[in-house]
Structure 1
Amino acid sequence: MSPTWLKDITLEGQHVSLQPLTLDHRAALLDAANDGQLWKLWYTSVPGEHNIDAYLTAALQDKHAGLALPFVVVDKHSGDIVGSTRYCNAVAKHRRLEIGYTWYANRVQRTALNTEAKLLLLTYAFEQLDCIAVEFRTHWHNTRSRAAIARLGARQDGVLRNHILLDDGSARDTVVFSITNYDWPAAKRHLSFLLESRETTQA
């Protein structure tokens, strides 16, 4: 694997800016997670005061190893950090990666911000990194996330039963979705249409 495949990049849209995550974002991420007390959701991984330092350390270690590129999500209208997302499980040799560890403050969920963030990430992955596939993974019980991934135009590849053990000792069934480079032109048109529709609705 080439550790230089994923390089620091800021992705800019009309509504959102995706900026490289650093240790300096600790307090802002906690503030974002507290909007909706997201760290209480048992089926997803959102940092709280009890694990924010381990969360940041793991993200930056994976980045250093060339496995991930973590971002903070900035709402361009308010200037606030409202969540985080990252490229992860990257394999440069096979030109594959996953978009994961995505979460947003309650106040910006189901807005144009998320749609635009995904469009930015996918565009960079397919058109700059030359990916042949981008994966999305989520907990079987995270029905909102599964529906949101499907709305992106991703196809469900399958379910990994008892895939990983969570901190509480329970086993997670992981639902795997993907968009391939062959799917990308239609998926891009679909995401652009969704974004334009949201902007028109919210205008």
Structure 2
Amino acid sequence: MSTTTPIPATASVPTGAMDQPRGVVLVSDRVRLEPLGPQHVQGLREVVADGEIWRIPYAPHVPSPEQVAGAVAAQRASDEAGRTVSWAVVDRASDRVVGHTTFLNISVRDRRLEIGSTYLAGSVHRTGLNAAVKLVLLTHAFEQLGCLGVEFRVHHLNIASRRAVERLGAQQDGILRAHRIMPDGTLRHTVVYSILADEWSGVRASLEHRLRS
């Protein structure tokens, strides 16, 4: 007769809601995350043109250069409504805007949120900058906000992004099948990953080691 190993009950966790995340400046040695504003429009136009990243398959959240101003305005409206918190990513070495990232699907009651809608200039891909951004965001989520879990959601065919999330140390929770109808009419199955609070110290140590290397 088969047996099922029970999932252990979580030890005491905070029962109160966490504070609503706000747009604050977040800084590390390598990056500065600035609350998204109209002053970032031109920089983000250059970001999406760098490598024409809006043409990357399975990333409809990346606007074309002509769509950036509207996308920033829409994102700011979402931020002001408390649904999301968005940042422009600045490379401190060059002091230029190199990307965009967001907290979304925020549940203050459950102390949980998603990191998503991230895009970076083509010239900084595979330079470790994405890991630096995620380290700043995860540190803020777990150590300042007191999150119990942080999610990442990825198109099932976006293998590069899936591998990047896995390298962060996130665990796959499952797949939301036929989750979204994409702009081109295809169906997206969404792969859900997460990092939990009791996994954070190990994930942080691994990320810091990667960045030192």
After TM superposition, the score normalised by the length of structure 1 is: 0.92
The answer for the alignment partner of 1:192 in structure 2 is: 208
The answer for the alignment partner of 1:109 in structure 2 is: 125
- d(CA) in 2 for partners of 1:68, 1:187: 24
| 1:40 and 2:71 correspond | no
The answer for the alignment partner of 1:200 in structure 2 is: none
Kindly tell me the number of residue pairs found equivalent between the two proteins: 196
- d(CA) in 1 for partners of 2:38, 2:182: 25
Q: 1:57: how far off?
A: 2.8
- d(CA) in 2 for partners of 1:27, 1:74: 13
Q: 1:7: how far off?
A: 1.4
| 1:124 and 2:114 correspond | no
8 Å Cα contact 2:18/2:146 also seen in 1: no
The answer for the alignment partner of 1:13 in structure 2 is: 28
The answer for the alignment partner of 2:105 in structure 1 is: 89
- d(CA) in 2 for partners of 1:188, 1:25: 29
| 1:69 and 2:73 correspond | no
Q: 1:54: how far off?
A: 3.6
8 Å Cα contact 1:84/1:101 also seen in 2: yes
Percent identity over the alignment is 40
The answer for the alignment partner of 1:201 in structure 2 is: none
Q: 1:12: how far off?
A: 0.7
The answer for the alignment partner of 1:174 in structure 2 is: 190
| 1:29 and 2:29 correspond | no
1:79-136 deviations in Å (ceiling 9; x for gaps): 1101101111111111110000111111111113221111110000001100000000
Q: 1:151: how far off?
A: 0.3
CA RMSD between the two structures? 1.6
- d(CA) in 1 for partners of 2:39, 2:158: 30
Name the larger-Rg structure: 2
Q: More displaced, 25-34 or 49-58? A: 49-58
Q: 1:26: how far off?
A: 1.3
After TM superposition, the score normalised by the length of structure 2 is: 0.87
Give the aligned residue type for 2:80: H
Give the aligned residue type for 1:150: E
1:126-177 deviations in Å (ceiling 9; x for gaps): 0110000000011111111000000000000111111111222211111110
Q: 1:52: how far off?
A: 2.1
> Matched residue of 1:93: which SS?
coil
Q: 1:51: how far off?
A: 2.7
